[in-house]
Amino acid sequence: MDYPRKTAPTDLPILEAFKERWSPLAISDQPVSDDKIQTLFEAARWAPSSYNEQPWRYVYATKNDGEARERLESLLLSGNAWARNAFLLAVSFAKKTFTFNGKENRHGLHDTGAASAYLAAQCPALGLVAHQMAGFKVDEAATLLGVPADFVAGSMIAVGYPDDPKDLDPKLQEREKTPRERKPQKEFVFRGKFQ
Amino acid sequence: MDYPRKTAPTDLPILEAFKERWSPLAISDQPVSDDKIQTLFEAARWAPSSYNEQPWRYVYATKNDGEARERLESLLLSGNAWARNAFLLAVSFAKKTFTFNGKENRHGLHDTGAASAYLAAQCPALGLVAHQMAGFKVDEAATLLGVPADFVAGSMIAVGYPDDPKDLDPKLQEREKTPRERKPQKEFVFRGKFQ
């Protein structure tokens, strides 16, 4: 069957991958091949970063990973319980300092956001969807996943094949159907000076 | 003539747009149409963000924008003087708080990084290149460009058609030719637990 697609109603013709990327709540537990998983991280790998630091790290677990998977799921807030169903769960982390000189990298999260955005946009070409969450147990994530103190948690990411929304809680089914919206460009692009 | 392309030597087949995106130093002052400029910002517009806050803002000026352009150029550090030549210069800003409740948005820069990454990946399809810089007069940027205190500067972005590197300073010509490199996945992707 065809699961929902929410092609972005763009004002100008942008990349198909960006039009088709969206963040559903219904994500399947159907296995995703290791090849596809590696392809997603490969897209993240080639994101640009300040001084090519590549500050991003990912810890992930699939439905087949037993305890490791339970650890990831334990970081979900109750509002994001829908994400338990997704075959893959990951958390991104950003290194706070530059490796070459130990100084603060103020772009750590900025560049990790770039990498995760490429991972998400790689999904449609593989028949997958990804949904990033900012709301998870951020303070516990690093400790639980063995991440050193020099890193800060970025987002939690649910990835998998799109699923039938009929098994979602009715309220979430409604949310899944809301139209996609963005501010018009005039509210965030300014020529010359901020208005 | 054909200007340099540095197609990423990926280990797995990722989106053409991600393979072709790179950050050259030789960027032309040849005019870019308003249509193309709007298409770049349209790609940024459809990036995902926490609570769909869309925290990103862009202030830009082209070579035709007189004083506004001078303001942008005055923010460049001397090491990035090459960027003066690019037809378009922009600075991204991230809103620090959520508009719906006024609370801190820890994903402001993260999501602005996502939007700018989509802008950069949209470039190859339009025959353009983009180069983001973290090193610019960050503390002066907001004041100079009239940006309110609730925003933090992200990156400075040079955009234009690719240019012949022969007019670059010889040292930069060398840098322009270095191979593209990324860490192997095993250094940033961890299954189950951080290693």
- Residues B48-86: tens digit of each pLDDT: 999 999 999 999 999 999 999 999 999 999 999 999 999
State how far residue A58 is from chain B, nearest Cα, in angstroms: 5
Quote the Cα angle for A149-A150-A151, to 5°: 90
Beta-carbon count within 10 A of B127 CB: 10
CA B118, CA B183: separation in Å to the nearest integer? 21
Q: Does some domain include residue B73?
A: yes
Residue A92: strand pairing partners = A58
pLDDT tens track for B67-76: 999 999 999 9
User: Can you point out the beta strands (E) in A2-150?
Assistant: 56-62, 88-95, 129-133
Domain count, chain B: 1
Question: Would the CA dihedral through A172, A178, A180, A186 be positive or negative?
Answer: negative
Q: Does some domain include residue B72?
A: yes
Q: Does some domain include residue B173?
A: no
Domain boundaries, position B141: 16-165
Report the relative pairing of strands B56-62 and B88-95 from DSSP bridges.
Answer: antiparallel
pLDDT at B1 over 60: no
Optimal mutation site among B40, B51, B105, B191, interface A, most CBs of chain A within 10 A: B191
Q: Does some domain include residue B89?
A: yes
Give residues 9 to 38 of A whose Cβ lies within 8 Å of B: 10-15, 17-19, 21, 23, 35, 38
- Which pairs count as long-range contacts for B33-36, CB under 8 Å and 24+ apart, including other chains? B35/A12, B36/B126, B36/B128
State how far residue A164 is from chain B, nearest Cα, in angstroms: 22
Q: Does some domain include residue B6?
A: no
> CATH number of the domain that A132 lies in?
3.40.109.10
CA A103, CA A116: separation in Å to the nearest integer? 23
Nearest to B42 among A14, A58, A61 (CB): A14
Q: Does some domain include residue B110?
A: yes
Burial pattern A45-74, b for ≥16 Cβ within 10 A else e, equals: bbbbbbeebbbbbbbbbbbebeebbebbee
Q: Does some domain include residue A171?
A: no
pLDDT tens track for A59-95: 999 999 999 999 999 999 999 999 999 999 999 999 9
How does residue A2 score in pLDDT terms, banded at 50, 70 and 90?
A: low
Mean pLDDT to the nearest integer, B105-133: 98
ipTM of the complex in this document? 0.97
CA B152, CA B70: separation in Å to the nearest integer? 21
pLDDT of residue B2: 63
pLDDT of residue B84: 97
Contacts of A110 in chain B (CB under 8 A): 94, 109-110, 112-113, 134, 154-155
Q: Does B65 touch chain A (CB under 8 A)?
A: yes
Q: Does A137 touch chain B (CB under 8 A)?
A: no
Which tokens is A71 given? Answer: 């650890």
Do B18 and A110 make contact, defined as CB atoms within 8 angstroms?
Answer: no
Optimal mutation site among B12, B110, B151, interface A, most CBs of chain A within 10 A: B110
Q: What are phi and psi of B13, to 5 degrees?
A: -75, 105
Q: Does some domain include residue B170?
A: no
